[in-house]
Amino acid sequence: MSNNESPGFNTLAIHAGAHPDPATGARVTPIYQTTAFVFDDVDHAASLFGLQAFGNIYTRITNPTTAVLEEKIAALEGGTAALGVASGHGAQLLIFHTLLSPGDEFIAARQLYGGSINQFNHSFKQFGWNVVWADGDDISSFEKAISPKTKAIFVESIANPGGRVMDLEAISKIAKKAGVPLIVDNTLATPYLCKPIEFGADIIVHSLTKFLGGHGNSMGGAIVDAGTFDWSANDRYPILSQPCESYNGLKIHETFGNFAFAIACRVLGLRDLGPAISPTNSFNILTGMETLALRMQRHCDNALKVAEFLEAHEKVAWVSYAGLAGDSHNERAKKYCPKGAGSVFSFGVTGGYDAGVKVVSSVELISHLANLGDTRSLIIHPASTTHRQLTEDQQVAAGAGADVVRLSVGIEDVEDIIADLDQALS
């Protein structure tokens, strides 16, 4: 770029990390569908295994197609490095595996995707990792939840399913005061709408399956290292600050500096736990990311019109969408997501649980399924599906009560989306 200007978002979405293939000249990143890679010689192999050189060993750990994906998402988020894995849940597993020991705690906002609530409440307990819940609408609840065992704070930038926008800057200040990293799931916003690192986040997590891939055809997850946290400030995070037995006493933070967290997740977590993304999925997600800005703007424009329609509908009791002028999160949306409040939000159907089930069963254009972030409009009744495992009180706290219907508004002609909702409600 001229005058030392940084490339714009659209340019990065297309070009970051991607170069013509050196062997063939192919302009689009090839699918390197191979399990392993040939070493130059014994010394080369030894240097790779000893983390003395960067390169490819085995696709579970590194792959050239996935490397382009990782560099691209790190560039879009403004991080120092990224790691691509099999799913968003896989990414969360590796993050906490790197941060926590048995008996440790982390704080999470109640306003989360139901699968994350279930993972934190149940599966993580098998590792001895304990979640302490805070209320994303009550910032003081995060500070009250801090204890000597706290190792991290976790929130979603835009919460699923309610579309609530978290006050990232305020939560970051609490995390910094406690000396723990702030982890932000930026799946619903994507870096096009919100860059949590600019507001104090230390680690970003994504389900690449959603808006970044954008076409409902590939599973993936990502971890982005902001490079902002001092892992050697004390012995709170021994995997990063202390000698690593797996690598002959190497100190990961001392050696790799501001991308040490991403390295640790790769060479310890991904190496041993194994949730690797396939090269084909990396390729599909890369293709989707090239049109991210175009899609996200259309998603947001459509979502606002749909939300306004629902807000005025006689069969709708309420709408929770931060893009609406009267919404309690509208000012936060203007601050953190100035280009739009995303396209996932919830509304309440008059008539409660049975009416909600009837609506999702009556749509024709909109697809009734458990996903979001697709080009197609999607709908679900969380209380009977994604949040079904939770108690009624937990469902309400997560924004998934009995009457709640979640929409992921697609990029179809908005008049057709509205017409389908109107006939389903009627």
Q: Is 319's pLDDT higher than 80?
A: yes
Look up residue 198 and give its DSSP letter. G
**Strand ranges across the sheet with 182-185:** 81-85, 221-225, 203-207, 182-185, 150-156, 105-109, 130-134
For residues 314 and 255, state if they share a domain: no
Residue 401 belongs to domain spanning: 293-425
For residues 375 and 274, state if they share a domain: no
Q: What is the mean pLDDT of residues 116-139?
A: 96
Final residue in a domain of this structure, among 235, 257, 288: 288
For residues 271 and 204, state if they share a domain: yes
For residues 33 and 109, state if they share a domain: yes
CATH number, domain of 186, equals: 3.40.640.10
For residues 282 and 306, state if they share a domain: no
Q: What is the mean pLDDT of residues 54-63?
A: 96
Would you say 232 and 101 are in contact if contact means Cβ atoms under 8 Å apart?
no
Q: What is the mean pLDDT of the chain?
A: 95
In 290-407, where does DSSP find H-type helix?
292-311, 330-336, 352-362, 392-397
Q: Is 412's pLDDT higher than 80?
A: yes
pLDDT for the residue numbered 383: 82
Q: Is 344's pLDDT higher than 80?
A: yes
Q: Is 1's pLDDT higher than 50?
A: no
**Residue 339 DSSP SS3:** coil
* Nearest one of 401, 400, 405 to 421, comparing CA atoms: 405
pLDDT for the residue numbered 397: 72
pLDDT for the residue numbered 400: 76
Q: Is 86's pLDDT higher than 90?
A: yes
